[in-house]
Structure 1
Amino acid sequence: MNCLFTNINFGLLVIFNNDKPQVNTMIQENNEILDINFLNAQLVTIPNGEITLRDDRLKQIWTVEIKSFLLSKYAVTQALYFQVMQVCPSTFSGNNLPVETISWRDAIGFCNQLSSISDLNPCYIFNLDTDDYQFDNLANGYRLATEAEWEYACKAGTQGIRYADLDEIAWYKNNANGSTHPVGLKAPNAFGLYDMLGNVWEWCSDIYDETVYGSYRIIRGGGWCDEERGCMATNRRRSHPKSFKIDDLGFRIAKNL
């Protein structure tokens, strides 16, 4: 895949050396500039509160307190992923399309790399030989949202299965025409977050059910090829953290306050 990104609107500003401004918060890599301030401006402060989760398969309902945190307005784009990781894994191609065909392991690797570039402490520690993962919940780097954080942020104060009419807020089977779409084109929720439903499913940090599924991680939100019933704030699905990659699965970044 030929990747040349410039004049990116969402989540990444690429400026070439002959145009480089004198801003000390910009990180130069491979003759391009990642504007950290611009990236952080895309993070929305999610207020504290609580969320009640349910799993009909497990017949469980539980309530989680949410501490205020930061969450990106948009899913990670192909442009941002390429700038940080220097690879283009996606099936579809476009600067502002959400990156997809990403495993959970790929997503946390991106978070750690972006943290290092930003001179922050990585949130994830993992052993490549054993596939053991540890999460540092006190680290100041970038991370995935927990599923409780994700659902709380998705609902944005609403109580139903969706925060608005699906056609207004999401790309799904009835309107996506067989592909992902650039982030941020549909209406945001009350917190200012885009595409929380549809376009691509999003990895969360949590294990789904270790007793039954082992290390399988949770995915949320629904994707471009899902029916209407697949795009609900309450849907919980899961898959293998390392081997599962598909063209309707991506992620967005979160950060502790």
Structure 2
Amino acid sequence: MNQPAGSPPTTPTPRIRTIFLPAGRITLHDRRTRRSWPVELAPYRLAAFPVTQDLYAQVTGERPSTTHADRLPVEGVSWWDAVRFCNALSHREGRTPAYELPAPNEEAESSPIWNTAANGYRLPTEAEWEYACRAGTTGPHYGPLDEIAWYRDNARERPQEVGGKRPNSWGLYDMLGNVWDWCWDVYDAEVYGNYRVLRGGGWFDEHWSVRASARRRSHPTFRVEDVGFRLACNADH
């Protein structure tokens, strides 16, 4: 039987490799406001790689990126695209979705409800992202930048296949460079409304933007060619 156009393919999705990360504490900093705040973290799991174009296409039937190849990170996806993907992949694997989503026409001015007890995939919080990126280090990078990240000096002005640079000591690849990662958190509700946090730097960024502490923001409906995402889930799943 022919599959309807645009529907997700029925072939099994690749196994998602996730890394167990222990409980810990991270202090976040915002350079604009000069504010710092500590966050206590329970154990969780984070994907070893950003979501690739192949995985995104297998789940959604779509290839939104501007440069196409299976092992390239998916980019040009909005925050809403990312949370919908998390739910779709959770359904596909028989997990309980992490998010209760509003109607599509309400997305611009609303937020999903996060079921924190669900075993489904989700976006990492900003604190989870930085804690994972640092992997116990305290400097701007978890290693020499050219060895760990694709950025303006070495990426040839395009995204690169995931896993091509050295991982951090916890086995996480491309935490810095290649594409920015969407995080769950609102950036600064009083000033920017429901703009969401971006972390990690991208292939077109100068070295000063590709740091463990660098924070950027974007509207959750915007699709940008150097912004992708990475999956998280609860530690017991």
TM-score (norm 2): 0.92
Residue in 2 aligned with 1:255?
A: 233
Structure 1 residues 141-166: Cα deviation after superposition (integer angstroms, max 9, x where no partner): 00000000000000000011110110
Q: Against the structure 1 CA distance between its residues 50 and 136, is the aligned structure 2 distance closer, same or farther, given a 3 Å change threshold? A: same
After TM superposition, the structure 1 = structure 2 runs for residues 159-178 of structure 1, keeping only pairs within 5 Å, are 159-178=138-157
Residue in 1 aligned with 2:196?
A: 217
SS across alignment from 2:12: strand
Q: Against the structure 1 CA distance between its residues 31 and 148, is the aligned structure 2 distance closer, same or farther, given a 3 Å change threshold? A: closer
Residue in 1 aligned with 2:3?
A: none
1:184 is displaced (CA, Å) by 0.3
1:130 alignment partner AA: E
Q: Does 1:93 align with 2:71?
A: no
Q: Against the structure 1 CA distance between its residues 207 and 34, is the aligned structure 2 distance closer, same or farther, given a 3 Å change threshold? A: same
Q: Against the structure 1 CA distance between its residues 117 and 31, is the aligned structure 2 distance closer, same or farther, given a 3 Å change threshold? A: closer
Question: What is the rounded CA distance, in whole Å, between the counterparts of 2:98 and 2:197 in structure 1?
Answer: 18
Structure 2: gaps (5+ residues): 1-7
Q: Does 1:130 align with 2:106?
A: yes
Provide the identity percentage.
50
Question: What is the rounded CA distance, in whole Å, between the counterparts of 2:148 and 2:34 in structure 1?
Answer: 29
SS across alignment from 1:32: coil
1:86 alignment partner AA: G
Question: What is the rounded CA distance, in whole Å, between the counterparts of 2:51 and 2:130 in structure 1?
Answer: 18
1:32 is displaced (CA, Å) by 2.1
Q: Against the structure 1 CA distance between its residues 61 and 31, is the aligned structure 2 distance closer, same or farther, given a 3 Å change threshold? A: closer
Aligned partners of 2:9 and 2:59 also within 8 Å: no
Q: Against the structure 1 CA distance between its residues 195 and 30, is the aligned structure 2 distance closer, same or farther, given a 3 Å change threshold? A: closer
- Greater shift, 72-81 or 122-131, is seen at 122-131
Question: What is the rounded CA distance, in whole Å, between the counterparts of 1:194 and 1:245 in structure 2?
Answer: 23
One of 50, 53, 57 as aligned partner of 2:28: 53
After TM superposition, the structure 1 = structure 2 runs for residues 66-77 of structure 1, keeping only pairs within 5 Å, are 66-77=41-52
1:78 alignment partner AA: Q
TM-score (norm 1): 0.85
SS across alignment from 1:229: helix
Paired residues in the alignment total 224
One of 211, 224, 233 as aligned partner of 1:246: 224
Question: What is the rounded CA distance, in whole Å, between the counterparts of 1:213 and 1:88 in structure 2?
Answer: 30
Q: Does 1:229 align with 2:205?
A: no
SS across alignment from 1:70: strand
SS across alignment from 1:61: strand
Residue in 2 aligned with 1:112?
A: 87
Question: What is the rounded CA distance, in whole Å, between the counterparts of 1:140 and 1:114 in structure 2?
Answer: 12
1:66 is displaced (CA, Å) by 1.1
Residue in 1 aligned with 2:174?
A: 195
- Greater shift, 49-58 or 123-132, is seen at 123-132
1:33 is displaced (CA, Å) by 2.3
Question: What is the rounded CA distance, in whole Å, between the counterparts of 1:62 and 1:178 in structure 2?
Answer: 35
1:31 is displaced (CA, Å) by 5.0
Q: Which has the higher contact order (CA 8 A, sep 6+)?
A: 2
Question: What is the rounded CA distance, in whole Å, between the counterparts of 1:145 and 1:30 in structure 2?
Answer: 26
Residue in 2 aligned with 1:185?
A: 164
